[in-house]
Amino acid sequence: MQRLNLPRIDDLGALEPPLLFFGGPYSNLHATQALIETAVACDIPPESCICTGDVVAYGAHPQETVDTIRAFRCHVIQGNCEEAFAARTGDCGCGFAEGSRCDVLSARWMDHAQRHLSDEACSWMAALPSGIRFSVRGTSFFVTHGAPSQVNRFVFRSSARAFKETELEACEADVMIAGHCGLPFSHTLGSRLWHNPGVIGLPANDGTPRTWFSVLGDARDGLQIDTRSLDYDFAAAQKAMRDAAMPEAYAATLSTGLWDNCDILPAPETQAQGRPLTPSWFTLPRTATTLISANA
pLDDT at position 272, please? 97
Q: Tell me what the mean pLDDT of segment 73-89 comes to.
A: 92
Rg of the chain's alpha carbons, rounded to an integer?
18
State percent of the chain over pLDDT 90. Answer: 80
CA distance 120 to 126: 10
CA distance 158 to 57: 25
CA distance 25 to 243: 19
pLDDT at position 24, please? 98
Q: pLDDT digit string (tens) for 237-246?
A: 999 999 999 9
CA distance 259 to 58: 12
pLDDT at position 78, please? 97
CB 201 within 8 A of CB 81: no
CA distance 85 to 99: 21
pLDDT at position 235, please? 98
269 membership: H or E segment, kind and range: helix 267-271
pLDDT at position 285, please? 58
Q: What residues form DSSP beta bridges with 136? A: 139
Q: Tell me what the mean pLDDT of segment 250-268 comes to.
A: 95
pLDDT at position 219, please? 87
Split at pLDDT 50, 70, 90, the class of 99 is low
pLDDT at position 93, please? 59
CA distance 119 to 227: 35
Residue 140: name the closest of 292, 287, 295 by CA.
287
pTM for this one? 0.93
CATH architecture of 9-294: 4-Layer Sandwich (3.60)
pLDDT at position 94, please? 65
pLDDT at position 294, please? 44
In order, the DSSP letters of 141-183 are: EEE-SSBTTBTT----TTS-HHHHHHHHHHHT-SEEE--SSS-
How many CA atoms lie less than 13 Å away from 130 in the CB half-sphere? Answer: 14
**Given a cut of 60, is residue 293 above it in pLDDT?**
no
Name which residue leads in pLDDT, 290 or 257: 257
**Given a cut of 90, is residue 289 above it in pLDDT?**
no
**Given a cut of 90, is residue 102 above it in pLDDT?**
no
Query: Domain locations in the chain?
Result: 9-294
Backbone angles phi, psi at 248, to 5 degrees: -60, -30
Bridge-based pairing state of the strands 192-196 and 175-177: parallel
Q: What is the mean pLDDT of the chain?
A: 91
State percent of the chain over pLDDT 70. Answer: 90
Name which residue leads in pLDDT, 3 or 273: 273
Q: pLDDT digit string (tens) for 33-48?
A: 999 999 999 999 999 9
